[in-house]
A and B are shown apart, each in its own frame.
Chain A
Amino acid sequence: MTDGSARPETIETSGEHAEKTPGLVAAFRSMEVDTRLIGMLGALAVIWISFHFWSGGTFLTPRNLWNLSVQTAAVAIMATGMVLIIVSRHIDLSVGSMLAVVGMLMALLQAEILPDLLGFDHPLTWIIALIIGIAFGAALGAFQGAIIAYVGVPSFIVTLGGLLVWRGVAWWMASGRTIAPMDSTFQLLGGGSRGTIGGFLSWVVGIIAAVGIVLLLINSRRTRQRYGFALRPLWADATIGVIGVGVVLGAVGYLNRYFLPPLLAQRRLEEDGQVWPEGGVDIPLGLANPVLIAILVALIMTFISTRISFGRYVFAIGGNPEAAELGGIKTRLTTVKTFALMGGLVGIAAAVQIARLNAAVSGLGQLTELYVIAAAVIGGTSLAGGIGTIPGAVLGALVMQSLQSGMVLVGVDAPLQDIAVGVVLVVAVAIDTFYRRRST
């Protein structure tokens, strides 16, 4: 294994024969792709295709996938934060209740407080409400994190308390009233027919993403070359590039085939001073704002968890808390930061949720903590700590939401839906545990 040859070191552990047998497995190894991620994509494909046939061909329509993408956004946003929480051997059971408190605050701000101060429908209302909401979420998270880190109460207990306390506070803030409507600009955060970027900009986003993938691959090759490390074979990089670009552009192209209903489209055109042509015209909605927010959050969280020292510390603490402490890491401060980050993400998710509902109720986000944790865990985050990825959690959220939406689509009874989701969660983790045990 350690013969000092120029073979890429990631291959070494899995066997020396990787280059000699040009089979499919070896090809995957040369591409250095995460087999777990491939497995999850496979599971997702199975779920999607099954529901497509079961529902008589309605699941894989642009319309349904577009809705699925919007419904996934809030849980996906929070799941990226939950990954870091679980990786550092903690848990946060309070995110659903925090979602309610923060959502309620943002709703009160824009429906009752800010109109009094700034006037109704002031252009700054949405951003002030959003920033205060995110900051408040981060503060709640930091507060819980501080109790966990400095007082030493286990995170399970602190956030279990939080689950009850924040839910009560959310009710108390508005005496159980429903707060509505939201500011007209703020509503755009939730998607809906206006909260999208349209067909053209969606293509722009898709092309930027495609270029980004290619640049990342080139940059990784350059860095490896500069330091004289072993390179991935060119064909492997090319394959990854082609698949990545294909998936991104394919997804954008497919979602862009979801068009505004004719009535809305006509109104939209006439607002713009154009004439509604004979026979109508197809106006694609394009990617929804919550989806863009979720993608942006996932990118930033991936950056945080892999490219800066804070993320590395979170993983080191999860792997060996004592070693992290002895390495000079401020482990307690890192814990507070992790929970604050989680709280900030809850703030973003809360904004998306109340914008989509155009209202806030104290029951907002009930049981959401379980979906968020399930998404992270299905996405390969280990409850033992130290292991987890952001893209995995986003995929996990997509799997959970696909199951739910699919079952609603085919008309499965509500109790049966819960049973199915519960069973899938346990089976997914069982498979993952089995796979992990075999590979180490």
Chain B
Amino acid sequence: MAADLSGTPLVEMRDIRVAFGGVHAVDGVTIDLYPGEVVALVGGNGAGKTTLIKTLSGAHKCDSGQIYINGEPVTIDTPRDAKEYAIETIYQTLALAENIDATANMFLGRELKTRFRTLDDSAMESAAREVMGRLNPKFQNFKVPVNSLSGGQRQSVAIARAVHFNARILIMDEPTAALGPAETAQVTELIKQLKAEGIGIFLISHDIHDVFDLADRISVMLQGKLVGTVNKEDVTKDDVLGMIIIGKLPGEASSTELEALHE
């Protein structure tokens, strides 16, 4: 069930460049994302996936290049800007404040207020219970500091935070890294459900099986450059591995290079 790729892309990142000192972390990368589509962003460690995606989530500014949302050029300088465009991010580090509770983390920066402008903790807890009821019905620890939760529970909090605010564009950086098999299955289900709702998802993952299970298209990065973007249907896992490791598109790599992959 691939998304319709004929209209205007939800997100288009054109010729994005980010350098740290002399190192080109992201070097002229162009990718796009359509509504209801999952684009997997893969590549080895240090390929620049996370840095690229951070320019979209507002955590980093890009040195040059342009981001378009629904065809309109936009400037995203801060995480607040990204949220204005309904871009939500689940970071690999989860980005939770360990000392405050799950509810407070979910609403961090976007607290619900009473009519006296004070924090409406009860309303927030109620809303948190509702979202979490959909994601992870077993989760009950809304009032304890996040640092006493398990890895899976923390991941649930981070995911709940991203989906609660009606995201149209969702960035998931290794969303299943800390999860057991059952929880991973839940996240997989969730991604399919969100996709069906027309949300566009950038999925960063190390797990080639996850990628083939969930993605519609796969963009491969190597050393800050985009190797290429392929439709999942058109390629094999070996093709993608070849792109990740050798940096050559399917058909370009020689048979000896491909055989070397399996040694």
Contact = CB atoms under 8 A, between A and B. Distances in A.
Interface string B221-256: 000000000000000000000000000000000000
B99 A1 contact: no
Contact of B140 (A4, A306, A316): A4
Interface residues of B, number: 41
B108 interface: yes
A319 B122 contact: no
A309 B111 contact: yes
Nearest to B158: A323
B80 A312 contact: no
Given A227-B126, A386-B99, A324 B118 contact: no
A316 B97 contact: yes
A320 interface: yes
Given A227-B126, A328-B78, A308 B99 contact: no
B95 interface: yes
Contacts of A315: 97, 99-100
A71 B137 CA distance: 53
Nearest to B57: A326
Residue with the greatest number of chain B CB neighbours at <10 A, chosen from A226, A306, A319: A319
Contacts of A313: 109
Contacts of B141: 1-2, 9, 12-13
User: Chain A interface mostly helix, strand, loop or mixed?
Assistant: helix
Interface in A294-330: 303, 306-309, 312-313, 315-320, 322-329
Contacts of B91: 326
A308 B104 CA distance: 12
A387 interface: yes
A433 interface: no
B159 interface: no
Contacts of A3: 138, 140
Interface string B137-158: 1111111100110000100000
A175 interface: no
A322 B95 contact: yes
A61 interface: no
User: Chain B interface mostly helix, strand, loop or mixed?
Assistant: loop
B140 A318 contact: no
A440 interface: yes
Given A10-B144, A316-B104, A309 B99 contact: no
Contact of B108 (A2, A4, A229, A323): A323
Interface in B87-108: 89, 91, 93-100, 104-105, 108
Contacts of B125: 227, 229
Contacts of A306: 119
B147 A440 contact: yes
Contacts of A320: 95-99
Contacts of A326: 57, 59, 79, 89, 91, 95
B134 interface: no
B262 interface: no
Nearest to B112: A309
Contacts of B100: 312, 315-316, 319
Contacts of A50: none
Interface in B161-204: none
A224 B143 CA distance: 13
Contacts of B117: 308
A163 B90 CA distance: 43
Contacts of B78: 328
A316 B119 contact: no
Contacts of B137: 4
B148 A440 contact: yes
A393 B212 CA distance: 55
A327 B98 CA distance: 13
Contact of B79 (A4, A317, A327, A440): A327
A223 B122 contact: yes
Interface of B: 57, 59, 78-80, 83, 89, 91, 93-100, 104-105, 108-111, 113, 117-119, 122-123, 125-126, 137-144, 147-148, 153
22 contacts: A1-B140, A1-B141, A9-B144, A12-B144, A223-B122, A227-B122, A308-B118, A309-B113, A309-B119, A312-B119, A323-B97, A323-B105, A326-B59, A326-B79, A327-B97, A327-B108, A328-B83, A328-B108, A328-B109, A329-B108, A386-B97, A387-B99
Interface of A: 1-4, 9-10, 12-13, 223-224, 226-227, 229, 303, 306-309, 312-313, 315-320, 322-329, 386-387, 440
Given A2-B141, A309-B111, A320-B95, 18 more contacts: A4-B140, A9-B142, A223-B122, A307-B118, A312-B100, A312-B111, A322-B93, A324-B97, A324-B109, A327-B79, A327-B95, A328-B79, A328-B83, A328-B110, A386-B98, A386-B99, A440-B147, A440-B148
